[in-house]
Amino acid sequence: MAKNKFLIRVSVLAALLLLISACNDSGRPDSFASIPAAPVIAPPPVTISGSAVKGIIKGGIVSIFGITDGQKDSEPLVTGTTDSSGQYSLEIPGDYSGPVIIEITASAMTLSGIL
């Protein structure tokens, strides 16, 4: 009888050890952990094009500003210049979302008539 109690205790202890070891992280990756995360892809830039005409504005400085809480941001999203026919084409970052203000001002070259 004592031998049967000993075997029962050893069997129960072995079963508990098997259960505990099944819950242990043995360093093997989970099937879900081996799935790579999707890469984060930045949105493409948005192109804004136009013409600066009050007459042709050659070499004008084009600044595109975002608007936050109804106010023009202090720093432009992007700047550029108009070409000899007053055309401009600028790309704003794709992660910007919202309205913009486009300002075109004269440069030293515009005022001097060099272009």
Q: For 64-90, how does the pLDDT look when each residue is reduced to its tens digit (9 = 90+)? A: 999 999 999 999 999 999 998 899 999
Name the phi and psi angles at 39, rounded to 5.
Answer: -65, 145
| Residue 101 maps to a domain | yes
- Which domain, by its residues, includes 86? 46-112
Paired tokens of 38: 């999707």
| Residue 9 maps to a domain | no
| Residue 79 maps to a domain | yes
Using alpha carbons, list the distances in angstroms from residue 58 to 50, 63, 64, 106. 13, 15, 17, 9
- Whether 99 and 62 have beta carbons less than 8 Å apart is answered as no
Q: For 2-48, how does the pLDDT look when each residue is reduced to its tens digit (9 = 90+)? A: 666 666 675 666 666 666 665 555 555 555 556 777 888 888 999 99
CA 61/CA 3 separation, integer angstroms:
97
